[in-house]
Amino acid sequence: MVKPRMEVELAGLRLQNPVMPASGTFGFGEEYEGYLDLNSLGAIVTKSVTLEPTPGNPPPRVAETPAGLLNSIGLQNPGLEVFLREKMPFLRQLRPPVIVNIAGRTLEEYVELARRLDGVDGVAALEVNISCPNVKEGGLAFGSSPEQAARLIRAVRRVTTLPIIAKLSPNVTDVVAVAKGVEAAGADAVSLINTLQGMAVDLERRRPVLGNISGGLSGPAVKPVALYCVWRVAREVMIPVIGMGGIMTATDALEFLLAGARAVAVGTANLVNPRAMAEIIAGLEAYLLQHNIEDVNQIIGALEV
Amino acid sequence: MSSLWQGEVVANTAVGPDIYHLRLRTALPGPRPGQFVHLRCGSSWDPLLRRPLSIHDYNPARQELELLYQVVGRGTAWLAGRRPGDFLDGLGPLGRGFTLPPGPRVALVAGGLGIAPLFFLARVAAAGGYQVTLYVGARSRDGLLRLETLQGLAVEVQRATDDGSAGFAGPVTSLLARHLEYKQYDGIFACGPRAMLAEVAKLAGQRGIPAEVSLEERMACGLGACRGCVVALYGEDGSIAYENVCSAGPVFPAEKIVW
Ligand SMILES: Cc1cc2nc3c(=O)[nH]c(=O)nc-3n(C[C@H](O)[C@H](O)[C@H](O)COP(=O)(O)OP(=O)(O)OC[C@H]3O[C@@H](n4cnc5c(N)ncnc54)[C@H](O)[C@@H]3O)c2cc1C
Ligand SMILES: Cc1cc2nc3c(=O)[nH]c(=O)nc-3n(C[C@H](O)[C@H](O)[C@H](O)COP(=O)(O)O)c2cc1C
């Protein structure tokens, strides 16, 4: 039996397989080097990078919920300059395309980030985070209306030739409308879902568990919500969808591909099992082999309804 | 290099009220006192995250890892149900451990379960020729854990209990404060409740004795990637920044911590 073809094409990028990390759960790659072969991934996606260093939110920043995780990291990252100087040299020597996730407090900051990343050696695409629930300014504010989202993506589109992936929130009235908005504004792909807003209460202390009061929910608990968002969006837009939300195993990944995701991102699973993506890639291959499917593209969007 | 392993349970025995001593067979690459392992505590996605536990001891010849833990919730309750022959999914050793000073006299200060990593440190320091005084505090005598095991080692043990059922009656930090009136130490190492650590930091600071403390925070990845388990620390220039407990710690110089 020949090995199945795992390659997918996404926003002009050729991915050797459809599996990549979800932003913020994989640091800048190097943290996981001892656990899996970074060169075996479909792509690398960085933690959100902001223009200036971002200190992040006060602890506690994580709370476990039934089969889920609430986080309120608050985009802690060293800022663009340090990212370019200290993180890019490592990232650019890797084989998979490097997707840099960017987040701003204002439209101008997103534009400035995109402008300064355009043409940087080793940066293959931008993922524009317009869906972070854990920051006071920017983030979700741009992702919650189709008009705002489109305006932001249009502005970013003007200053970069890099493929743009708009990262969408499930915390909206109509995720399809937002997806169509960013598609019309020039996004080359969409990724979804970012975390769902939530909170946890410490009964003993009569206080929220998280220092930031609320956080974003991820992990197995959100998978049905994520699958539904991905399925709906994939049917309604022409640009490819990167599906994520609760993918822990190859079975989960396959469900997202069937629902129409061209690729999948793995987030919370990395925090539980640092080898999760390696196991998911192997599991995908095994499934295709077992079912005599020659090319992974044959199952993308193949859900029968 | 840190690693992912399956460790076989050799023994998992109650040694105090809701407190267990777990022995696991696994080959760890040179664990140091103060480092921790990150254990799956369940076989489904609920509970989801690993649980961090300090390395209580490690025997390289037998490839045996020892942990000391208290049942406080679902994960540790599951752990208490493991039997010899069961396998546990672990990650580690992780984090930065204690750094012994150039001088020979060290004080180790444990509050409650804080004895978990300090036991390992006491053994390593004693073996390395240090003069070790171990101050252990607990609510009452049945919370003074596994001290009999230290017999035969060159470790001086000083006990304190809140109810006076063993040793000094009062907080272990009060006992330490009294001793610091006349005893000299080249380094102090502490693990326990945050208020106790803050007190140790103050006592050490007043006397100019370098001190290191082991901190806890709610933790996710354990690898420094997600930035979930941060604590506020002073930087070189006095500015405050959030650092990961899992990768920059769990052991930190006491004077760097924003209490
Ligand atoms: C580096 C490190 C080393 C540790 N070493 C040890 C050890 O050697 N022995 C030991 O017994 N424990 C140790 N702990 C604490 C241990 O990890 C927690 O007690 C354990 O994760 C609780 O899991 P659980 O599922 O039983 O409880 P959960 O159901 O998760 O929680 C039970 C209760 O404890 C609280 N809680 C849980 N984790 C924390 C935390 N990190 N900080 C504050 N409150 C918390 C919860 O809010 C809840 O009230 C260590 C923690 C860290 C960060
Ligand atoms: C700890 C943590 C940090 C995250 N940080 C970011 C981030 O910086 N930027 C971003 O776009 N998404 C971030 N996310 C969201 C994830 O990329 C992903 O969209 C979400 O967690 C759903 O996938 P999952 O269930 O597989 O984790 C973060 C998620 C977690 C759990």
Q: Does residue A3 fall inside a structural domain?
A: no
Residue B1 pLDDT class (50, 70, 90 cuts): very low
pLDDT reported for residue A1: 64
Q: Does residue A304 fall inside a structural domain?
A: no
Does residue A275 belong to the interface with chain B, where contact is any CB pair within 8 Å? yes
Mind listing the pLDDT tens digit for each residue in B51-106?
999 999 999 999 999 999 999 999 999 999 999 999 999 999 999 999 999 989 99
Q: What is the largest CA-CA distance in chain A?
A: 60
Q: What span, in angstroms and rounded, lies between the C-alpha atoms of A17 and A43?
A: 8
pLDDT over 70, % of chain B = 99
Q: Residue A214: which domain range? A: 8-298
Query: Which residue ranges of chain A lie beneath pLDDT 50?
Result: none
Residue the block writes with tokens 């040299």: A89
B-proximal residues of A, 38-97, CB under 8 Å = 47, 55-56, 58-64, 66-69, 71, 73, 76
**What total number of domains does chain A contain?**
1
Taking the model in full, what pTM does it have? 0.95
CATH of the domain at A198: 3.20.20.70
Mind listing the pLDDT tens digit for each residue in B100-159?
999 899 999 999 999 999 999 999 999 999 999 999 999 999 888 888 888 888 899 999
Dihedral over Cα of A81, A83, A85, A86: its sign:
positive
CB atoms within 10 A of CB A142: 27
pLDDT reported for residue A185: 97
Catalytic residue among A111, A128, A132, A217: A132
Q: What span, in angstroms and rounded, lies between the C-alpha atoms of B92 and B77?
A: 21
> Do the Cβ atoms of B251 and B114 come closer than 8 Å?
no
Q: What is the mean pLDDT of residues B200-208?
A: 96
Q: What span, in angstroms and rounded, lies between the C-alpha atoms of A101 and A75?
A: 11
> Do the Cβ atoms of B216 and B250 come closer than 8 Å?
yes
pLDDT reported for residue A228: 98
Does residue A31 belong to the interface with chain B, where contact is any CB pair within 8 Å? yes
Does residue A117 belong to the interface with chain B, where contact is any CB pair within 8 Å? no
Bond into A240 cis (ω within 30): no
Angle CA(B123)–CA(B125)–CA(B130) in degrees, nearest 5? 130
Tokens matching residue A159: 């200053």
CB within 8 A of A228, min separation 6: which ones?
none
| Helix/strand/coil for A202 | strand
Ordered by where they begin, the domains of chain B are: 3-94 (2.40.30.10), 105-216 (3.40.50.80)
CB within 8 A of A224, min separation 6: which ones?
none
pLDDT of B2 above 60: no
| Helix/strand/coil for B101 | coil
Q: Does residue A305 fall inside a structural domain?
A: no
**CA-closest candidate to residue A57, choices A78, A72, A68, A40:** A72
Q: Does residue A1 fall inside a structural domain?
A: no
Helices marked H in chain B — which ranges?
74-80, 115-127, 172-180, 194-207
Say whether B221 and A67 touch across the interface (CB within 8 A): no
Helices marked H in A14-125 — which ranges?
80-82, 88-92, 107-117
Beta-strand runs (E) in A120-159: 123-129
Q: What span, in angstroms and rounded, lies between the C-alpha atoms of B190 and B213?
A: 5
**CA-closest candidate to residue B23, choices B77, B78, B76, B85:** B85
pLDDT reported for residue B151: 82
- All residues of chain B having their beta carbon less than 8 Å from the beta carbon of residue A67 are 44-46, 48
From the list A58, A271, A275, the residue facing B220 with the nearest CB is A271
Say whether B46 and A67 touch across the interface (CB within 8 A): yes
How many whole angstroms from A160 Cα to the centroid of ligand 1? 46
Q: Does residue A303 fall inside a structural domain?
A: no
* B124, HSE (Cβ side, Cα atoms, 13 Å): 22
Chain B closest-CA separation from residue A73 CA (Å): 6
Q: What span, in angstroms and rounded, lies between the C-alpha atoms of B229 and B234?
A: 16
Q: Does residue A2 fall inside a structural domain?
A: no
Is A229 part of the annotated catalytic residue set?
no
Mind listing the pLDDT tens digit for each residue in A81-132?
999 999 999 999 999 999 999 999 999 999 999 999 999 999 999 999 998 7
Does residue B253 belong to the interface with chain A, where contact is any CB pair within 8 Å? no
CB atoms within 10 A of CB B30: 8
Q: What is the mean pLDDT of residues B31-38?
A: 98
Q: What span, in angstroms and rounded, lies between the C-alpha atoms of A225 and A227?
A: 6
